[in-house]
């Protein structure tokens, strides 16, 4: 079975012959996913390793330690800027011209194209986080207008991606961090009022193109997982299992959605205890996976950010690979 088919079987709960891996690090471990980040590169100059302006007018800065950085200037910090504000052109050929060379390297792997900052993240990057949290109550009409603008951008860009590459792409990877270490940023009423239907429209647009929806979200987002599943997320990228409550979280949701996951990037991997890592992996296989599928092994991909050595993730992958 080809790598792309193993991934598809895991997502569809169609009994893959083994766990699929998204890792790119070790030659002796399967590497079933080709992930393409090039569509997120900003024509204005910003990328994940390059601070500066992105194409939405958000100014990014980094600390002295290499990192993704954060937005420090928000183009819609003042609502008076909204009438004259225009989002980037989602069909700009610049976003797509670096994708084809990566696709030629995919071979028989499952291809995922990333499109970061889906709805919530782009909204608070445009407004500023504190202002965005207040806007749900104080500026609901302007909030809806901006979220619709962001939604339309993503939908049109995915349609253009499909027009150019069609079935050479198999899924899209979206991000919206929804929580702190204790709970979601907002309550269910705000989510339902501003995001539930927009996620359904966004995920539905992806599905109509024949692709899977991967959604990353950090924080203790347990309360929103049923809502994300209902909206149509096929795969949830979960990186903080200890934050969720590993065993109870898995038992609540396994078999209902496919998980793309790693040993905990905050609690477990940074400690570097191989025995602890292997035990956590065994808990994943017992409490998150099913005999039909539902689990894809994920590599965080930035050991420097986690302050871990190269051998730490090796133990995790090898334990996942064991039958």
88-130 confidence digits (pLDDT tens): 999 999 999 999 999 999 999 999 999 999 999 999 999 999 9
189, burial (CB in 10 Å: exposed 0-12, middle 13-18, buried 19+)? exposed
Mean of the pLDDT values across residues 47-58?
96
* pLDDT reported for residue 67: 78
Examine residue 281 and state whether it is found in any structural domain, yes or no.
Answer: yes
With cut-offs at 50, 70 and 90, classify the pLDDT of residue 162. Answer: very high
Sheet bearing 59-61, strands edge to edge = 52-53, 59-61, 70-73
With cut-offs at 50, 70 and 90, classify the pLDDT of residue 160. Answer: very high
Residue 81: give its domain's CATH number: 3.20.20.210
Examine residue 27 and state whether it is found in any structural domain, yes or no.
Answer: yes
Counted domains in the chain: 1
Examine residue 34 and state whether it is found in any structural domain, yes or no.
Answer: yes
Mean of the pLDDT values across residues 59-63?
93
Examine residue 174 and state whether it is found in any structural domain, yes or no.
Answer: yes
Dihedral sign for Cα 93, 94, 95, 100, please. positive
Residue 280, helix vs strand vs coil: helix
Element (H, E) at 36: strand 33-36
Could you tell me which residues are beta bridge partners of residue 33?
Answer: 110
Examine residue 50 and state whether it is found in any structural domain, yes or no.
Answer: no
Examine residue 149 and state whether it is found in any structural domain, yes or no.
Answer: yes
Examine residue 198 and state whether it is found in any structural domain, yes or no.
Answer: yes
Rounded distance, CA 149 to CA 123, Å? 10
With cut-offs at 50, 70 and 90, classify the pLDDT of residue 178. Answer: very high
pLDDT at 131 over 90: yes
Structural domain span for residue 127: 3-41+76-321
pLDDT at 165 over 90: yes
Residue 179, helix vs strand vs coil: strand
Give the tens place of pLDDT for each residue, 182-204: 999 999 999 999 999 999 999 99
Is the CB of residue 11 less than 8 Å from the CB of residue 89? no
59-61 and 70-73: which strand pairing?
antiparallel
Rounded distance, CA 72 to CA 164, Å? 34
* pLDDT reported for residue 52: 96
Examine residue 138 and state whether it is found in any structural domain, yes or no.
Answer: yes
pLDDT at 64 over 90: no
With cut-offs at 50, 70 and 90, classify the pLDDT of residue 27. Answer: very high
């Amino acid at each position: 079975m080809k790598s792309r088919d193993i991934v598809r079987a895991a997502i569809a709960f169609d009994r893959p012959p083994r766990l699929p891996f998204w890792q790119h690090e070790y030659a002796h471990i399967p590497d079933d996913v080709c992930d393409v980040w090039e569509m997120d590169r900003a024509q204005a100059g910003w990328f994940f390793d390059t601070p500066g302006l992105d194409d939405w007018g958000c100014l990014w800065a980094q600390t002295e330690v290499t990192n993704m950085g954060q937005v420090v200037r928000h183009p819609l910090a003042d609502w008076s800027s909204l009438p004259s504000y225009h989002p980037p052109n989602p069909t700009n050929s610049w976003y797509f011209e670096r994708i084809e060379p990566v696709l030629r390297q995919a071979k028989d792997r499952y291809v995922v194209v990333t499109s970061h900052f889906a709805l919530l993240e782009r909204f608070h990057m445009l407004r500023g986080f504190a202002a965005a949290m207040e806007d749900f109550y104080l500026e609901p009409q302007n909030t809806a207008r901006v979220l619709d603008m962001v939604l339309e951008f993503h939908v049109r860009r995915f349609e253009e991606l499909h027009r150019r590459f069609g079935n050479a792409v198999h899924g899209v990877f979206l991000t919206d961090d929804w929580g702190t270490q204790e709970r979601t940023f907002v309550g269910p009423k705000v989510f339902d009022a501003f995001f539930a239907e927009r996620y359904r429209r966004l995920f539905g647009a992806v599905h109509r193109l024949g692709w899977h929806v991967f959604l990353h979200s950090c924080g203790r987002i347990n309360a929103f997982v049923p809502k994300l599943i209902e909206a149509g997320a096929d795969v949830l990228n979960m990186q903080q299992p200890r934050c969720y409550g590993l065993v109870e979280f898995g038992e609540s949701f396994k078999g209902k959605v496919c998980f793309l996951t790693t040993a905990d990037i905050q609690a477990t991997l940074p400690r570097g205890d191989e025995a602890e890592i292997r035990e956590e992996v065994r808990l994943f296989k017992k409490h998150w996976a099913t005999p039909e599928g539902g689990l894809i092994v994920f590599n965080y991909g930035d050991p420097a950010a986690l302050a871990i050595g190269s051998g730490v993730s090796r133990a995790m992958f090898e334990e996942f690979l064991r039958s």
